[in-house]
Amino acid sequence: MEGEKAPAVEVCKGVNGLDKVVLREARDCSAEVYLYGGHVTSWKNDGEELLFVSNKAIFKPPKAIRGGIPICFPQFSNFGSLEQHGFARNKQWSIDTDPPPFPTVTSSRAFVDLILKPSEEDLKIWPNSYEFRLRVTLGPGGDLMLTSRIRNTNTEGKTFSFTFAYHTYFFVSDISEVRVEGLETLDYLDNLQERKRFTEQGDAVVFESEVDKIYLSTPAKLAILDHEKKRTFVLRKDGLPDAVVWNPWDKKAKAMADFGDDEYKHMVCVEAAAIEKPIELKPNEEWTGRLELSAVPSSYFSGHYFSGQLDPEKVLQSSSI
């Protein structure tokens, strides 16, 4: 007997009674988005979790959820006077029931539109009116797409600028066997060395200790290869020139209250971002930043991955941004 099919979009309660939206697609693919933070906390293909969320994550305002995809807006890190990574990740978002049309049509039914607007209190901290619309879509093949549209709704002719990141925590089986490709030969600012500028020397980014770097002017496509799982995450991004790579390693892990001591072994943050050149919006102007994630089997060739290049066969199988 066939059971009742679960809905493609369902609004329900998550941890601590917080509202969340569950998106479902065929083959046990799903995603979960909390209205608190407009925060994606789960993305599964074939029932397997692809994002990292800490066992110690605190699902309670005002602390941002540790893991998943926090949204950093209107400030990345401490690049300004606002709180670390801005306030969007610890605000209550709403479901946008009537979003303006999207230029690209999706064949997916599994999507949700969220919106964040400033309250009177928020305006005291950052005196700018804006509408931040976030669409989260789960594609029919299990890909996850996030589209942010930020509009300046200041009425007094005031331009504002902001920095931004999709602070994505990927689940990996063993960080010491992970490599990030697409960033080789690029310049980066090293957060561990007073944000001095260096040029990446390795043929990929690998992890043997704490890493906290902001790569500049990065390509639209990046890959994270998980050797043990033989899985590659492909990131495609648009409007987001920079990419942050972060793993806290053992010492910083111990210092974080909402992160397990050994959990650094099972996560890596690769964050599609706009940091070096802040986005400037005149009144009524809108900016769009898109991230598309897919998980594909890794290609293996004579004991080595195709270094520096993604396997075109595999990459072409997933839809383009």
Binding site for ligand BG6 (CB under 6 A): 77, 84-85, 167, 191, 212, 244, 246, 271
317 is in an annotated binding site: no
Q: Which of 167, 181, 263, 292 is catalytic?
A: 167
Planar angle of CA 93, 95, 101, nearest 5 degrees: 115
Contact 51, 35 (CB under 8 A): no
Least distance to ligand BG6, CB of residue 151, Å: 25
Strands 160-166 and 187-190: unpaired
In the three-class reduction of DSSP (H, G, I as helix; E, B as strand; rest coil), residue 261 is classed as: coil
- Report in angstroms how near the CB of residue 208 gets to ligand BG6 at its nearest: 18
- 89 annotated as ligand-binding: yes
Nearer to ligand BG6, 22 or 244 (CB): 244
208 is catalytic: no
Min CB(271)–ligand BG6 separation in Å: 6
Nearer to ligand BG6, 45 or 163 (CB): 163
Q: Which of 25, 32, 181, 271 is catalytic?
A: 271
Report how far residue 130's alpha carbon sits from residue 121's, in angstroms, rounded to the nearest whole number: 14
Cβ-based nearer residue to ligand BG6, 167 or 179: 167
Let me know if 227 is a catalytic residue.
no
Cβ of residue 201: shortest distance to ligand BG6, in angstroms?
20
> Which amino acid is residue 180, in one-letter code?
V
Active-site positions read 167, 271
Known binding residues for substrate are 66, 84, 89
